[in-house]
A = this chain, B = another copy of it.
Amino acid sequence: MKTPIILDCDPGHDDAIALILAVAASNIDLMGVTTSAGNQMPAKTLNNAMRILTLLGQTEIPVAPGLKKPLLRKLETDVAMHGLTGLDGADLPEPDFPVYSGSAIDLLATKVKTSKDPVTIVVTGPCTNIAFFLSLHTELKYKIKEIVILGGGMGVGNKMPTTEFNMLEDPESAKIVIESGIKIVLFPLNVAFKAQLLDEDMKKMSKIKNKVSRAVVDLLNNYGIQFDQGTRPFKGIPIYDPCCISWLMNPSIFSGKECHVDIETKGEFTTGETIIDYYDLTKKNKNAFVLFDIERELFAQQIIDSLKSFSK
């Protein structure tokens, strides 16, 4: 049986690769895509998701636009990382199919309601759309299998010393989602930083030479520059968002631990921080399965194999 998922994303280079993996994965049924304001303005992340699906020839997958800004805070896009388009570096086709007729919330509600099996929601941007969906449709919570989130960090951050972009962008929405009572699978920066593609992987991808692999290589070449310029040393290019899909494809590549997780929303320096109680100091309920480690080579191979699958 395929895992039915809805991907809520803000493409974004790594979101784009997550989307490609989700389409390529033989055990995943990508029922819909919803887009959030985050890496870029909402009109751009919507367009980017549709451009990727157009590239993949998957124009029957519905794509719906989400909230225009975070729940309580201003939108702060990440132009430095993802460029003016949000997906700089590749020559992508313009969307050749229409936007879904309703909102992201409508698409989520319809798909979750009508799905035979409980649905997995994957969030690779700020949690805004999912917070609104859960608040508005409490009657559908029982139909959600789990929410897989890329975000947060335990003692590490990327925007600020202890905070990660997605969580910092909309901490109140993250809090609503984490405290929803639905099973959370969290990929913090601790594991995402390890999800690197090395030169050798880039070389393998370059040799595949189908239109999807070409776009991915172009995107990664553009994206990788930012990591070279950062102060944190990386051997390769860490690609965060694909971790979520990779885990759904093959959980054995990752290892983690059940933990209680809180989201800070009041701090002067720590708002957006995920407080991950690794050693169970608080004795609070373990509301999340948090991933900390990855078998990097298997992860890279999974991506390479996925790209190859578009060659036929």
Assembly CA distance A132 to B69 (angstroms): 12
A231 near B264: Cβ-Cβ < 8 Å: no
A161 near B278: Cβ-Cβ < 8 Å: yes
A229 contacts partner chain B, Cβ-Cβ < 8 Å: no
Work out how many copies of this chain go into the complex.
Answer: 4
The chain B residue sitting closest to A138, CB to CB, is B68
A282 contacts partner chain B, Cβ-Cβ < 8 Å: yes
Chain B residues with CB below 8 A from A136, complex form = 67, 103, 105, 132
For chain A, the count of residues having a C-beta within 8 Å of the partner chain is 45
The chain B residue sitting closest to A266, CB to CB, is B268
Tell me the minimal C-beta distance from A279 to chain B in angstroms.
Answer: 5
Tell me the minimal C-beta distance from A246 to chain B in angstroms.
Answer: 24
A162 near B155: Cβ-Cβ < 8 Å: yes
The chain B residue sitting closest to A230, CB to CB, is B279
Chain B residues with CB below 8 A from A162, complex form = 155, 162, 273, 275
A157-B281, A160-B282, A231-B279 known; A135+B132 contact, CB < 8 A: yes
A276 contacts partner chain B, Cβ-Cβ < 8 Å: yes
Q: Chain A 66-99, CB within 8 Å of chain B: the 1/0 string?
A: 0111011000000000000000000000000000
A105-B136, A156-B155 known; A269+B275 contact, CB < 8 A: yes
Assembly CA distance A35 to B105 (angstroms): 21
Chain B residues with CB below 8 A from A158, complex form = 281
Partner of A264, one of B69, B103, B267: B267
Assembly CA distance A105 to B106 (angstroms): 12
